[in-house]
């Protein structure tokens, strides 16, 4: 059989099969491979905020900032309500 293939193709059967195999692979490869998708802003935030070592300190810092913001923003309104009830009484 290899003599017949050599006569038809003019080359060794193993070489012919290998070349054909790699030709088929070269045709299929672009159809199935996908390139790496670019990192989105969400991916970058996830990478930073879900970091193994920095995730919990960042979480605690954000909660502390939210706590401070809540009481710092509400302090003037609380003072106004206090002044109103002092004036009323």
Task: Classify 61 as helix, strand or coil.
Answer: helix
Cβ neighbours around 50 below 10 Å, total? 11
Please choose, from the candidates 41, 40, 59, 39, the residue with its C-alpha nearest in 3D space to the C-alpha of residue 49.
59
On whether the pTM is more than 0.75, the answer is: no
Cα–Cα distance for residue pair 38/44, rounded to 1 Å: 10
- At 22-78, the pLDDT tens digits run 999 999 998 888 888 888 999 999 998 898 999 999 999 999 999 999 999 999 999
Q: How confident is the model at residue 2 (pLDDT cuts 50, 70, 90)?
A: low
């Amino acid at each position: 059989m290899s003599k017949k293939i050599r006569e038809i193709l003019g080359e060794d059967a193993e070489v012919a099969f290998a070349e054909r195999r790699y030709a088929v692979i070269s045709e299929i490869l672009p159809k199935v491979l996908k390139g790496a998708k670019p990192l989105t802003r969400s991916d970058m935030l996830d990478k930073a905020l879900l970091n193994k070592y920095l995730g919990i300190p960042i979480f605690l810092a954000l909660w502390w900032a939210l706590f401070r913001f809540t009481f710092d923003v509400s302090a003037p309104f609380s003072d106004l309500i206090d002044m109103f009830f002092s004036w009323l009484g």
